Structures are given as structure tokens and as C-alpha cells.
Amino acid sequence: MKTIRGANILFPVTVLSYLAVSFFTGFLARYIPVPVPVLLVAGEIGIMLPTAIYCLVTRNNPFRWIQRKRLDLLTVLLVVLFTYCMYPLIMVINMFSMFFADNAAAGVLDILSGLPMPAALLVIAVVPAVFEEFFCRGMLYHTYRRRGIWTGAFISALMFGLLHMNLNQFCYAFFMGIMFVLLIEATGSIYASMLAHFLYNGTSVVLTYLTAPSDGGAASGDLSAALEESGLSALYPGMSAEALQNLFLASGILVMEFIAIATTALAVLLLIAIAKRNGRFGHLRVLFSSKKRKAAESVRSIQDKDLKPRHVVDIWAILGIILCIAMFFIL
């Protein structure tokens, strides 16, 4: 976008658009049969609508300043490996958040498991990977990036996590937002973050189909019911269902932590390989060198008049943040 203030305004407008479209389609579903995939896609359209209107009205072509270099086959393979190496760490964050909030995504996935897998992949993986990445890493990140890459990464990841409007998804979506930015900077292309986003969501869909009960048992997201059906609760007769669930989560986190440490270390090596493959290793090194990064940001601040305001986040951005947090307790 042309100004950081414009991005700050776009965020709450997008939140309101998403809520308006979602509530409207939900209201229609009370009177006429509306398939769940339509409801989900409508929400994604609500996210993209303000951005599309902005680009049309201002005649601002975002593809002129969004990094979108074509990825070669080896880079694609490296991004796939990097994504799955980061998967255990995402799982640890997700499991940890479940001490404080329900697994919000599991319920939606269980509902969609009644659809053909290609349809579920389209709704859960393809559409969000394109729409959410274009808005969060395309419009927001590439605007806030002008105040520094880490500043842009943090703010866009925060807004990306908040857009999910529940604590469980916010925790790991925020981290994923940072990771997606690193992929963009390592490749010089938003296509890398779109691919990683698709792989994360798509893997969740595939795992849901593979683990879906065929006999009407507990849904994959209902951990307490699953523990009851497995017979594990009988081994702890004096323990409540909630306490047993927490014990199971703590055990899972403990095991997964060791796996996550190893795979995350491998992911760092893969990120370096991706950057070298795309001739951006020097650029990636600058990101983790405070002196070089500050020098680069100082030059950028002299060249960009929009960087004169001291505060990146203004009342508009704060309004959007408050609105999303309010939805944590309402939805």
C-alpha cells in the first residue's frame, strides 16, 4: 500500500468485512440450507473484499511491489521439506494452547470430513493459502516492511493470528506468520509462503480424513471423548476428564518437544539452503545482524517519506486488534 496508515485502516475494515459476511451467511443458513464450504469461502471473500476494492478504487497494482519471483523446482522441494520440519514445533505450540482454549480448527475439519477430500482441500487449504497470504503477507507485511523487516514480520503475524479470532489458532498462527515472512525473504517470493500455508492446512485436512472414525466414534478434535473411548480413563478412575486431558497433552508436549528441537534445527539449515539457492543468503544474514539491519533501515528511512511518523501502529490498527480480541470471548 502507499502508506502505513493505509494498512492500519485496511486491517479493521477487513475484520469488519469478514465478520459482516460471516454473520450474514450464518443468518441465511438459519432459513435456507447453506453448505459449510460456502460459509467458509464466504469468510475468505470477506477478507479479500476490502483489499480488492482498495486496489480498484486507487488503481494501485499490488503486484508491482509484492515480491513474487517464480520458484524453481528445487526451491519448491526445499520449501516443502522446511515446512514439514517446522510442523512438530507448530504442533507443540498448538498442544500448549489447548491448556487454555479448545482446538477450534478440529471442529471445522470434522464437519468437512463428510465431504470429498478434494473439496475440503479447496476450502481449507487452497483458498486460505491464496487469500490470507495475499492480504497478510502481501498487503500488510510488504507495507509494514518499510519500517523494518522484523517490524513488518511481527505486526503482520500479529494481525494474521488475530484474524483467526480464537486463542488456540492465534498462538500457532502468529508463529507461522513469522515463519512465512522468513520464507518470503529467503526466496524473494510470496509464492513460498502460499505453498507453506497450503501444506500446513492441507496436511491437517488429510490427517483428519485418515483418522476420521468410521463407526460414529468421537470426533478427531474431541480429545476427552477419544480418551474415554480408548479406555485410558479407566486406568485413572479418580481423575476428572479435564485433568486426564491435561495429563495427556503434557505428555505429548514433552515427547514432541524433543522431536521439534531436532526438526527445527534441520529447518534452519534448509532455510539457509533456500536462501543460497535464490541468491539471498547475504540478505538473510543481514536480518540476523543488528548492526547491518539498523544501517539498512536507516538508509530506507531517509528514502521513504512515509517513515517519518514515529509510531507504526495507530488508533485504526488498535481498533482492529481490540475487535479481534473481543471475538475471542464472543465466538
Asked if 232 contacts 225 with a C-beta cutoff of 8 angstroms, the reply is no
In this prediction, residue 241 carries a pLDDT of 62
In this prediction, residue 142 carries a pLDDT of 94
In this prediction, residue 292 carries a pLDDT of 57
Nearest-5° angle of CA 174, CA 180, CA 181? 95
Neighbouring C-beta atoms of residue 59, cutoff 10 Å: 6
Q: Quick one: CA torsion of 220, 224, 228, 230, rounded to 10 degrees?
A: 40
Asked if 166 contacts 331 with a C-beta cutoff of 8 angstroms, the reply is yes
**Integer Cα distance of 87 and 263 in angstroms:** 8
**Integer Cα distance of 288 and 280 in angstroms:** 13
**Integer Cα distance of 240 and 220 in angstroms:** 20
In this prediction, residue 302 carries a pLDDT of 46
pLDDT tens digit at each of 331 positions of the chain:
878 999 999 999 999 999 999 999 999 999 998 888 898 999 999 999 999 999 999 888 888 889 999 999 999 999 999 999 999 999 999 988 988 888 888 778 777 877 889 999 999 999 999 999 999 999 999 999 999 999 999 999 999 999 999 999 999 999 999 999 999 999 999 999 999 999 999 999 998 888 766 555 555 555 555 555 555 555 556 666 666 667 777 887 888 999 999 999 999 999 999 999 999 999 999 988 876 556 555 545 545 655 555 679 999 999 999 999 999 999 7
Sign of CA dihedral 271, 273, 276, 282: positive
Start-to-end CA distance of the chain, whole Å, equals 31
Asked if 128 contacts 44 with a C-beta cutoff of 8 angstroms, the reply is yes
The set of residues, in sequence order, having a beta carbon less than 8 Å from that of 57 and lying 6+ positions away, is: none
Q: Cell 481423575 identifies what position?
A: 239
Percent of the chain with pLDDT strictly greater than 90: 63
Q: What nine digits make up the cell of 229?
A: 473411548
- Structure confidence by residue, pLDDT tens digits, 290-330: 765 565 555 455 456 555 556 799 999 999 999 999 999 99
Q: Cell 471473500 identifies what position?
A: 45
**Integer Cα distance of 253 and 249 in angstroms:** 6
- Structure confidence by residue, pLDDT tens digits, 238-288: 666 666 667 777 887 888 999 999 999 999 999 999 999 999 999 999 988
In this prediction, residue 105 carries a pLDDT of 81
Asked if 219 contacts 107 with a C-beta cutoff of 8 angstroms, the reply is yes
In this prediction, residue 272 carries a pLDDT of 97
DSSP string, 267-303: HHHHHHHHHHHTT-HHHHHHHT-HHHHHHHHHHHHHH
Entry pTM = 0.89
R_g over Cα of the chain: 21
Q: Per-domain residue ranges for the chain?
A: 68-308
DSSP string, 46-108: HHHHHHHHHHHHHT--GGGTS-BPPPPHHHHHHHHHHHHHHHHHHHHHHHHHTTTS--HHHHH
- Length of the chain equals 331
Alpha helices, H only, 164-213: 167-187, 190-211
Q: Cell 500448549 identifies what position?
A: 96
Q: Cell 526451491 identifies what position?
A: 75
**Integer Cα distance of 256 and 206 in angstroms:** 20
**Integer Cα distance of 90 and 93 in angstroms:** 5
| Residue 47: burial class (beta carbons within 10 Å; 0-12, 13-18, 19+) | buried
